[in-house]
């Protein structure tokens, strides 16, 4: 019996484990056996790999071939094992030296004509391989830039199986340039100057950006709720390198193309018809990331929030508190990061005109109440800022023609506020006010002046215990934007008004 082995990676969530792909050729009638807990797409690799090897002239052994994926207890999913299966079978059949596979991980899907195609999750797979001592990796030529984002990886790209066997015999592989991990992705960001009027709402957006606070925009249709939410990413600072790698790995798992590190905070806006699985992640054997993970370190915008299914909205409760999503399945539990800024937008009623001066609402009272209850109380209690937007009236044309403040100016104030937070919170290990746990907020940071007013709000049922922490976080953020050393009475009162959705003149 002739045998050889190659290496690949099994991904469960963001974590990867090395998989030893063993191929053994014995005597008897031709047959292919694949074992090691493969899923359907991987089980079909037998036929793909055999046809691909025959098409490039290497040939498949005319004998029984057993392919084992070890450890057998670990579930394997995906088509990225194709390249390692081909390499192991080729080495067992002496088409290439078996020693060339030692210390080398292979990733790629093969076509029936021998081409090597791109695969999902390459970046986290290469990260896992390098961490476990497999610095040499072979990847599809089209994904060399993505694999090159991993520091310490010796990346070789192959466009087809002919090139793969040439590499395993000592050839150079594809000459596609490797990505520079410091490249900042250019992006076309929508600018705040496009929004006419709504000064208070813009200021609430600035506070939300400065402290990473969740935001609820409500008001009649056409007042600018969606316009404002779409422009929140334009005033957020760039991601740090560690955050950028994490976000890029999630995008790779989601199948999004990567030509460089994702350096801007991501933005996800799923439609209200989205299922719970597409929102939080899901899958039958191994769960894949959903919109909450694709928005990690960025913004998750749910427009027409009352139109989302109740179950889907309530599934956001845990990630809003913990910053991660845990998806348990029968064979494995996947954990994905999900630390995002949530922005909700909603009309006051089905027709959108309830409570709007000068507009007629034709919705029955029961429909208005039912519509308002579609966003549950526990979700609303987790929102820091509740901002009502009123329609512009006589001043609309004047506001539309007046030069509004651009996003670049607001982004600079947000950056300065974030710097103040980072310096203050460095001893406790956090970076923004919106992330600080309640006990740290109350015991290790000085309380604002006039904090006794919060006791009164709690006793009257206007604030929950969670709401008190939200107000304290907002007070710190408002003070940071104002350049104050600590929150004062005015900052606390403004924070309370933002939390309760009261109209206040923008600072």
Phi/psi of residue 81, nearest 5 degrees: -80, -10
Nearest CA to 119 out of 196, 5, 8, 6 is that of 8
H helix or E strand, kind and range, residue 475 = helix 465-482
CATH number of 192-435: 3.40.50.300
**What's the pLDDT score for residue 184?**
40
Q: Does pTM surpass 0.85?
A: yes
Token readout for 169 is 């015999």
Distance CA 313, CA 204 (A): 23
Ramachandran area for residue 220 (φ above 0: left; ψ -120 to 50: alpha; else beta): beta
- Tell whether the model's pLDDT for residue 178 goes beyond 60: no
C-alpha dist (Å) from residue 357 to 228, 344, 368, 375: 22, 23, 16, 24
CB atoms within 10 A of CB 375: 21
* Structure token pair of residue 283: 């899958």
pLDDT tens-place string over residues 430-443: 899 999 998 888 88
Q: Please write the tens of the pLDDT for every residue from 76-98.
A: 988 999 999 999 999 999 999 99
Cα–Cα distances (Å) from 391 to 150, 218, 229, 429, 458, in that order, read: 49, 11, 17, 42, 32
Q: Looking at the domain that runs over 2-168, which CATH code has it been given? A: 3.30.230.10
Q: With a cut of 60, say whether residue 177 has pLDDT above it.
A: no
Nearest CA to 160 out of 170, 173, 178 is that of: 173
Residue count (the chain): 507
SS3 of the chain: helix, strand, coil, percent, to 5: 40, 20, 40
Question: What residue ranges do the domains of the chain occupy?
Answer: 2-168, 192-435
What is the chain's mean pLDDT, rounded?
89
Fold match flag (2-168 vs 192-435):
no
């Amino acid at each position: 019996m002739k045998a050889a082995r190659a290496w690949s990676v099994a991904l469960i969530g963001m974590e990867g484990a090395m998989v030893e792909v063993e191929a053994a050729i014995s005597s008897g009638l031709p047959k292919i056996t694949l074992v090691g807990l493969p899923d359907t797409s991987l089980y079909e690799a037998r036929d793909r790999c055999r046809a691909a090897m025959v098409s490039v002239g290497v040939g498949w052994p005319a004998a029984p071939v057993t392919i084992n994926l070890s450890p057998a207890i670990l579930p394997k999913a995906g088509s990225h094992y194709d390249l390692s299966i081909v390499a192991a079978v080729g080495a067992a059949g002496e088409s290439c030296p078996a020693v060339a596979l030692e210390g080398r991980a292979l990733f790629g899907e093969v076509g029936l004509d021998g081409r090597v195609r791109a695969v999902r999750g390459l970046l986290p797979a290469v990260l896992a391989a390098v961490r476990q001592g497999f610095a040499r990796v072979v990847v599809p030529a089209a994904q060399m830039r993505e694999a090159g984002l991993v520091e310490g990886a010796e990346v070789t790209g192959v466009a087809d199986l002919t090139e793969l066997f040439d590499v395993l015999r000592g050839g150079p592989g594809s000459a596609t340039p490797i990505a520079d991990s410091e490249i900042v992705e250019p992006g076309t960001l929508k600018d705040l100057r496009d929004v006419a009027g709504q000064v208070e709402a813009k200021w609430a957006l600035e506070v939300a950006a400065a402290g990473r606070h969740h935001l609820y925009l409500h008001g009649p249709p056409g007042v600018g709720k969606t316009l404002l939410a779409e422009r929140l990413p334009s005033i957020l600072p760039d991601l740090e390198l560690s955050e950028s790698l994490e976000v890029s790995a999630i995008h790779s798992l989601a199948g999004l193309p990567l030509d460089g590190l994702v350096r801007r905070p991501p933005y996800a806006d799923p439609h209200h018809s989205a299922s719970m699985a597409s929102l939080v992640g899901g899958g039958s054997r191994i769960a894949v990331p959903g919109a909450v993970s694709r928005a990690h370190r960025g913004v998750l915008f749910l427009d027409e929030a009352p139109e989302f299914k109740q179950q889907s909205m309530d599934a956001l409760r845990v990630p809003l508190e913990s910053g991660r999503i845990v998806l348990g399945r029968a064979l494995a539990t996947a954990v994905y990061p999900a630390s995002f800024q949530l922005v909700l937008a909603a009309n006051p009623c089905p027709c959108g005109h309830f409570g709007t001066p000068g507009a007629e609402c034709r919705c029955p009272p029961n429909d208005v109440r039912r519509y308002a209850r579609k966003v549950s109380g526990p979700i609303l209690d987790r929102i820091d800022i509740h901002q009502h937007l009123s329609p512009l009236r006589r001043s609309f044309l004047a506001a539309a023609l007046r030069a509004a403040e651009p996003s670049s100016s607001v982004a600079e104030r947000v950056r300065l506020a974030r710097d103040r937070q980072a310096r203050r919170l460095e001893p406790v290990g956090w970076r923004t006010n919106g992330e600080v746990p309640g006990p740290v907020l109350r015991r290790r940071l000085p309380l604002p002046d006039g904090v006794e007013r919060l006791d009164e709000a709690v006793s009257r049922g206007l604030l929950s215990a969670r709401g008190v922490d939200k107000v304290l976080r907002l007070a710190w953020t408002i003070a940071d934007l104002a350049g104050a050393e600590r929150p004062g009475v005015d900052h606390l009162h403004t924070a309370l008004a933002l939390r309760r959705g009261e109209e206040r003149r923008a600072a």
